[in-house]
Structure 1
Amino acid sequence: MNEEVENAFLPMTSVSSGKGSLVIHDVYCYTNQIVNICFINIPNNKWVLIDAGMPKSAEKIIQGAEKQFGKGSWPEAIILTHGHFDHIGSVEALAELWNIPVYAHQLEFPYLTGEQDYPPGDPSVDGGLVSEMSPLFPNHSIDITEKLNPLPADGTVPLLSDWKWIHTPGHTPGHISLFREKDQTLIAGDAFVTVDQESLYKVMTQKKEINGPPAYFTMDWDEAKVSVQTLRDLQPELAITGHGVPMSGNELTRELNKLAENFDTLARPDSKT
């Protein structure tokens, strides 16, 4: 593990930490402190892990997986929505333990091969306490070159034949979301979230409300806006986001459309206009 990531300041937890639920028949959502990861069932009693949670959380993630799939169960692969510390915190330990491949978008590779660090957290984006703490959050790259593989260029997802990956940049250059057309299920990563991620109180209580990507780490607001509009146009029936609780049905349609149509006022920080 990159020592700077391993030893860096870690943010708060939430009331959902350690809890999981079967959101749809084959997608289990598990909350690791403040971030959601997904376990997706595939045929022959196998599964795929989406994102890898916080640093020092490998044991908790394993316990969450074994609760769902049984003792000694491990996934066939890990697929990353992007490389921020709260989504890849335990990927090195888990990929090594399970000896499985990790897939990510090619534009995310510099942050996953030790070549480039993300910009530090921006405390000026909205004045929220989490934003103010964000310069202390890990922004360092990791190096998982030996396990890392690019997602197929045709949008297919390894091992997940019903899913496609969609490039949704803005929060990071290589951010992706996953979508299954047959039941309109979306795993959005941090392209948008269902909690005000800048508010310490709302993060801790997990108050449900659609927001743009976590502002303190978002790198390109023009691209982020287009990505939200792209996901809105898919008309998802269920959205599992990287932070917050799943949202579905009319509530999701209404709130995601509102965010897409009013992104500049609802999501883009004043300092980024």
Structure 2
Amino acid sequence: MISRLSFRGCNCYLIESEGKRYLVDTGTPGNLKRAREQIDSIDGIIITHGHYDHCGSAVEIADHFSCKIYAHRDEHPYLEGKADFKFEGFVGNFIKRLERLRPMEHFRAHDVESLNLNIVHLPGHTPGSIGIVVGKEMLCGDLLRVGRKYIMAGETVVKPSSRNFNWNQEKYIESLKRFAQLDVEVIHPGHGESVRIDRSLINEIIKRLER
């Protein structure tokens, strides 16, 4: 079961599997009040990747619910402040400054692959980006974004993550290819609406990126 929550910064979700409840991503700092209003209890927090807008409230929410934070082991150094993400371009430099505002003291991440969930490692956007497959649905973090063809107008479109925000573009494309092989019909992205998706669309995105 997947439920979308109303947090600031990114789409955050509550998933229930085999009697356990996990919060997936926590948005920007300051979402504890929203978490208390929408969640009674959780067994853990899963971070799809360590960017500011996805993990900014992880520590305070974990402290409140007395639970652990889980992420892919390749993401732990970034979450715990032992390594920095490299961003490119003007927007990337702005995001880099925002990253410094994220509270990292007391941030202790545990290996997400220790959980009894279908976790898919999808490096590229960051070293430890993951997707979580529930049935034929996937919480895909920032592997893909969903928006409008034009600003605030036009048809809904599925877009790749911006190269300026990706840690490694080649690995990102490899992860898109891996995703295209999965039996997934619906994606729940970190930004934008949940949508049905098919392999041909992903293959078209891959072709555009490889030109």
The count of corresponding residues between Structure 1 and Structure 2 is 208
- Are positions 1:172 and 2:126 aligned together? yes
Q: Distance in 2 between matches of 1:206 and 1:74?
A: 39
SS at match of 2:89: coil
Quote how far apart the aligned CAs of 1:90 are.
Answer: 0.4
Q: Distance in 2 between matches of 1:247 and 1:107?
A: 28
Q: 5+ residue gaps in structure 2?
A: none
Alignment of 1:119-134 (within 5 A): 119-120=86-87, 122-123=89-90, 131=91, 134=92
Q: Distance in 1 between matches of 2:189 and 2:204?
A: 17
- The root-mean-square deviation of aligned C-alpha atoms, in Å, is 2.6
Quote how far apart the aligned CAs of 1:150 are.
Answer: 1.3
TM-score by length of 2: 0.86
Alignment of 1:1-273 (within 5 A): 26-44=1-19, 46-63=20-37, 65-66=38-39, 73-120=40-87, 122-123=89-90, 131=91, 134-137=92-95, 138-140=98-100, 142-143=103-104, 147-152=108-113, 158=115, 161=116, 163-180=117-134, 183-195=135-147, 201-202=151-152, 208-248=156-196, 251-265=197-211
Contact 2:12 2:25 in 1 (8 A): yes
Distance 1:52 1:121, change over 3 A: farther
Contact 2:6 2:34 in 1 (8 A): no
Distance 1:171 1:178, change over 3 A: same
Quote how far apart the aligned CAs of 1:57 are.
Answer: 1.8
Quote how far apart the aligned CAs of 1:148 are.
Answer: 1.9
Identity %: 22
Quote how far apart the aligned CAs of 1:121 are.
Answer: 5.1
Quote how far apart the aligned CAs of 1:215 are.
Answer: 3.2
Quote how far apart the aligned CAs of 1:207 are.
Answer: 6.3
Distance 1:100 1:192, change over 3 A: same
Q: Distance in 1 between matches of 2:183 and 2:17?
A: 24
Q: 5+ residue gaps in structure 1?
A: 1-25, 67-72, 124-130, 266-273
Q: Distance in 2 between matches of 1:150 and 1:165?
A: 11
Q: Distance in 2 between matches of 1:150 and 1:144?
A: 18
Bigger Rg, which one: 1
Quote how far apart the aligned CAs of 1:190 are.
Answer: 0.8
Q: Distance in 2 between matches of 1:109 and 1:217?
A: 18
Distance 1:215 1:108, change over 3 A: same
